[in-house]
Amino acid sequence: MSLNILGYDVGGTKISTVVGNDSGEILSNVRMPTVKHLGKKRLIEEMITMGDAALKKAHVEKPDLIGIIFAGPVDRNRGVVIASPNIFGLSNFNIVEPIRDYYRTDTFLENDAQAAAIAERLFGSGRNVDNFVYMTLSTGIGGGIFINGKLYRGAHGMAGEIGHNVIMVNGPTCGCGRRGCLEALAGGKAIARRVIENLRAVRDSDFFSKLRPNEITAEKVFEGKKQGDMFSQLILEETIYYLAVGLVNIINTLDPELVIIGGGISKAGKDLFDPLNDAVKEEFKSMYRPFKIVPGLENGSDLAAISVPLYTEMELHGEGEKQY
């Protein structure tokens, strides 16, 4: 008999709620834009309303397990959001307790990037790979690491913050406060910022001169390259170089079999992965070793939310991983 799982993804641009099962099938989903001033009480009210709606759509009366993934640092053992970069007023907030009490169901919390790595382990390219790194390449850059078949969380549960490795000393200031982080150079927000900062190039570009500053995104840069815009080409070449430097640092440190890249920017497909593979090979210099860089799951964010309780239950009960 399959398990029905209610999953929440509380992210920077949207809050999504899904109902899925332990075979990785998504039965329903409900989404709403993230509101920065939502607050604790309203957030829980919205989550419960969305959860009830998703369960009704899936014809599920009560979930067997619940997963919550959050875009920001969390204390998974206490069910607490440590800091909230996207929704104000949620720092040191126990997000698990009210959801668990309402549904009377075991509820588990995880950082969104680590949850995506778990989804890859259970349902994606990491299924039969014991040592891999997952990178989410979106507005920011995060990650999750599997070592010898187990998610590596570190001493404080905060391992995998690969976006905050400095790759340019005295580079642009990152949201974390340091300068020259990978995220501050190659995250989606950083790509858009680098375009906007080059005002002369923007004015001279047929593609970008038609866009308002708030319309410039990383996705638009890839679109500009496809249309032959040379400025887009230069911005992407820089971005690929920064990503290659960051990835080679990670690969040299951890020696994974595989690097999986997900997140919105990964949807650029061959326009991202072909030059990135070439750049990484070049950046290895004499330290080259076999490696693969592959795209993440198409529906990774939905599967991440339902994967967290499945994987946590295995950890709690000391069970070997099932092959989903």
Structure tokens at 130: 């014991």
At 293-320, the pLDDT tens digits run: 999 999 998 999 999 999 998 887 765 5
pTM of the model: 0.91
- pLDDT tens readout for residues 161-192: 999 999 999 999 998 889 999 999 999 999 99
Alpha helices for the chain (secondary structure H): 39-58, 96-103, 112-123, 182-186, 188-197, 199-204, 218-226, 230-254, 270-284, 300-317
Question: Which amino acid belongs to residue 177?
Answer: G
Res 321: pLDDT: 53
Question: Which residues, other chains included, contact 153 with Cβ-Cβ below 8 Å and sequence gap of 6+?
Answer: 114, 159, 160
Task: At 323, list the tokens.
Answer: 């092959």
Q: What does the longest C-alpha to C-alpha distance in the chain come to?
A: 62
Query: Which residue ranges form the domains of the chain, and what is each CATH number?
Result: 4-112+299-317 (3.30.420.40), 125-295 (3.30.420.40)
Residue 267 corresponds to which tokens in the numbers above?
Answer: 């949807």
pLDDT for residue 37: 85
